[in-house]
C-alpha cells in the first residue's frame, strides 16, 4: 500500500484544525493535529512529518519561533513548513518566510489552495532524479547522489536550495529574474510570491558558506552564479 504523506497540523483553534484534518484525509494525506508547540515537538520527536502546517499565533511559543528552531536542527531543517496566519501584511509574510517557512497562507483560505500548496512543497522536497553533474569554479554538484561540495568539503542544502543551485549552476554567468526562477524551481505553483526567491537565495548563501559570494545579486535584474569568488557579498545582500 502506498504510504500517505504525513501532515502535522499545529493549530490552536479546534474547529479550524478539524476542518483542515478532514479535508486532508479526504484528499490522500495522513494528518496529525496538535494545539501547541510542546505537543508539536513531541510528535516530531516520535515521527518526522512530510509537511508541517504551522499556525503563527499559538499559546506559549509562536509559530515563527518554532519554525526558527526546527530550521536550526539537522533532523528537521528540510521538512517543509507552511505558515497559517490571519496576518496578511507584506512585512508579516517576510517575517514568516525569514523565520524558515517555505510558504505562507493567510486566513481565510480555500481548501483547494491549501491542498495545492501542500502538493507543491512535497514536489519540491522530492526533486526530479537526474544523473548529471555540474561544476562552477570550485563548487561541484552531483544530482545523482544529491551532493554539493566546495573545495572538496561537502555542503548540506535543503531541497529547494538544491534545485535553485542546480539550475543556476547549469546556466553560469547568466542573469535570471525572480520570475524566471519561480517558473523553473517552483513550476506551476502560482501562489508563490517573488519575495520567496529572495528568502531562498539568502538560505542558499548561508548553506554555501565560503562559496556564498559566487551567488551574485544583479541590481534591478535578478541573480546569477559566477566562478569568480572575490565578489563583494555585502553589496549583493544589500541589493537583494
> Are both 190 and 217 inside the same structural domain?
yes
- pLDDT 10s digit of each residue in the chain, 240 long? 557 899 999 999 999 999 999 999 999 999 999 999 999 999 999 889 999 999 988 888 888 899 989 988 888 888 889 988 877 666 666 777 778 788 888 888 888 889 988 988 887 766 544 557 899 999 999 887 888 999 989 998 888 888 899 999 999 999 999 888 887 887 654 466 778 889 899 999 999 999 999 999 999 899 999 987 544 444 444 444
- The domain boundary residue, chosen from 125, 153, 174: 125
Which of 107, 125, 143 is at the close of a domain?
125
- Count the neighbouring beta carbons within 10 Å of the beta carbon of residue 218: 13
pTM of this prediction exceeds 0.75: no
Our measurement of the distance from residue 237's CA atom to the centroid of its chain's CA atoms, rounded to an integer in Å, reads: 19
Name the strand (E) or helix (H) holding 90. helix 90-99
Question: Residue 161 domain-assigned?
Answer: yes
Determine the pLDDT at residue 86: 78
- 66 and 150 inside one domain: no
Same domain, 10 and 116: yes
Number of domains in the chain: 2
Residue 28 belongs to a domain with what CATH number?
Answer: 3.40.50.2300
**Whether residues 34 and 109 fall in one domain:** yes
φ/ψ bin of 60: left (φ > 0), alpha (ψ from -120 to 50), beta (otherwise): left
The set of cell numbers assigned to 227 is 566562478
The range of the structural domain enclosing residue 90 comes to 6-125
Same domain, 178 and 213: yes
Cα angle for residues 62, 67, 73 (degrees, 5° grid): 135
Residue 129 pLDDT: 44
196, 228: one domain:
yes
> What's the pLDDT score for residue 238?
41
125, 158, 185: which is the final residue of a domain? 125
For residue 152, what is the DSSP state?
T
Question: Is there a domain that residue 1 lies in?
Answer: no
Same domain, 64 and 149: no
How far is it, in rounded angstroms, from Cα 60 to Cα 12? 11
The CATH number of whichever domain residue 170 belongs to comes to 1.10.10.10
Please state, in angstroms and rounded to a whole number, the distance separating the CA atoms of residues 52 and 227.
Answer: 37
Q: What is the pLDDT of residue 145?
A: 82
* Residue with cell string 536550495: 161
Amino acid at each position: 500500500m502506498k504510504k500517505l504523506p504525513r501532515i502535522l497540523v499545529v493549530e490552536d483553534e479546534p474547529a479550524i484544525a478539524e476542518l483542515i484534518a478532514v479535508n486532508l484525509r479526504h484528499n490522500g494525506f495522513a494528518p496529525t493535529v496538535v494545539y501547541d508547540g510542546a505537543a508539536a515537538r513531541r510528535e516530531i520527536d516520535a515521527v518526522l512529518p512530510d509537511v508541517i502546517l504551522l499556525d503563527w499565533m499559538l499559546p506559549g511559543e509562536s509559530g515563527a519561533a518554532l519554525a526558527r528552531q526546527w530550521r536550526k536542527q539537522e533532523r528537521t531543517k528540510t521538512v517543509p513548513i507552511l505558515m497559517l496566519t490571519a496576518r496578511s501584511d507584506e512585512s508579516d509574510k517576510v517575517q514568516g518566510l525569514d523565520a524558515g517557512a517555505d510558504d505562507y497562507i493567510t486566513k481565510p483560505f480555500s481548501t483547494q489552495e491549501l491542498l495545492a500548496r501542500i502538493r507543491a512543497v512535497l514536489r519540491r522536497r522530492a526533486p526530479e532524479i537526474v544523473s548529471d553533474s555540474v561544476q562552477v569554479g570550485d563548487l561541484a554538484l552531483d544530482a545523482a547522489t544529491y551532493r554539493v561540495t566546495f573545495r572538496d568539503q561537502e555542503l548540506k542544502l535543503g531541497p529547494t536550495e538544491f534545485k535553485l543551485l542546480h539550475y543556476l549552476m547549469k546556466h553560469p554567468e547568466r542573469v535570471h529574474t525572480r520570475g524566471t526562477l519561480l517558473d523553473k524551481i517552483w513550476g506551476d505553483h502560482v501562489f508563490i510570491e517573488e519575495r520567496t526567491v529572495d528568502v531562498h537565495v539568502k538560505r542558499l548563501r548561508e548553506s554555501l558558506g565560503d562559496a556564498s559570494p559566487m551567488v551574485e545579486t544583479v541590481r534591478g535584474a535578478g541573480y546569477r552564479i559566477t566562478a569568480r569568488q572575490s565578489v563583494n557579498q555585502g553589496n549583493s545582500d544589500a541589493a537583494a
